[in-house]
Amino acid sequence: MTATGAAPSRLRAAVRASPAPVALLAAGTAGLLTLGIVTGRDNWPVYAAVVLAGTAAVAGIHLRVGLSTTTIWGLVAFALGHLAGGMVAVGDGILYSLWLIDGVLRYDNLQHLGFGFVGRAIWETLQHRLAPSERDRPGISMWIVVLGAAAAGAVNEIVEYLLTLILPEHQVGGYDNTARDLVADLVGGLAVGWWTRRETRAATGGAAESSPA
């Protein structure tokens, strides 16, 4: 079998191995996009394109390195949370603009915690290339997740800024909201990084770490 023919076969096998998150992503995406279309969200094609591109990227990475079930579920929740933020109407606005704690925390900021799972996917992609020793692996796993989450979140803020230059009507909340988003990126990275460190340490038999964590 050629490499071209092997990829679809491996993708089908991966879907059969994890049917629940795939089914939830497909059903949730279809439902939320339909809701957005019915309620007049003109930007639904942009959200659809982002989720499609993200899904394709994650699928490609998963076929190469085999992402963990935890990471896959986290990324599915992140994708659906993004769609809900843009497609679900709340009053005269959308879920993304909803204040959960007035003046302190919006749904948009809460959604940014999901970048922790982007950081975890980065760690799972790089761990074999970095090849840390068993002793160092737990601590390194945590900090790669943290740094990956912060970097991916920062790139997201750059993209949002560029969108405000290209599409003046694209409002993302200004400097204050950007700062809260970056804090949420860091908190999400620290939380998922700590979790990943614990899992990695258990998998390596609880070996002591020489690197700080």
pLDDT, averaged per 10 consecutive residues of the chain (213 residues), comes to 62 80 96 96 92 94 93 97 95 91 91 97 94 92 97 92 70 75 96 96 68 44
Tokens of 54: 């993200």
DSSP symbol at 95: G
* Rounded distance between C-alpha atoms, residue 155 and residue 182, angstroms: 10
- Report the pLDDT value the prediction gives residue 210, as an integer from 0 to 100: 46
Residues 6 or more apart whose Cβ sits within 8 Å of residue 130: 140, 144
| Beta-sheet pairing, 105-106 with 99-101 | antiparallel
Given a contact cutoff of 8 angstroms between Cβ atoms, the answer to whether 36 and 96 are in contact is no
∠ Cα 194 200 206 (to 5°):
105
pTM: 0.87
Calpha distance 152→118 (Å, rounded): 7
**Pair of tokens at residue 123:** 């760690």
For position 13, what pLDDT does the model report?
Answer: 78
Cα–Cα distances (Å) from 87 to 48, 126, 189, in that order, read 11, 34, 26
Count the Cβ atoms, other than its own, within 10 Å of residue 90.
Answer: 13
- The predicted pLDDT at position 168 comes to 58
The pLDDT, as a whole number, for residue 204 is 77
Q: What share of the chain is helix, strand, coil (3-state, %, to 5)?
A: 75, 5, 20
Domain spans of the chain?
1-92, 98-213
Largest CA distance in the chain: 58
For residue 193, the model assigns a pLDDT of 97
For residue 40, give Cα distances in angstroms to 26, 37, 88, 125, 172.
Answer: 21, 5, 11, 39, 19
26 vs 45: CA distance, rounded Å: 16
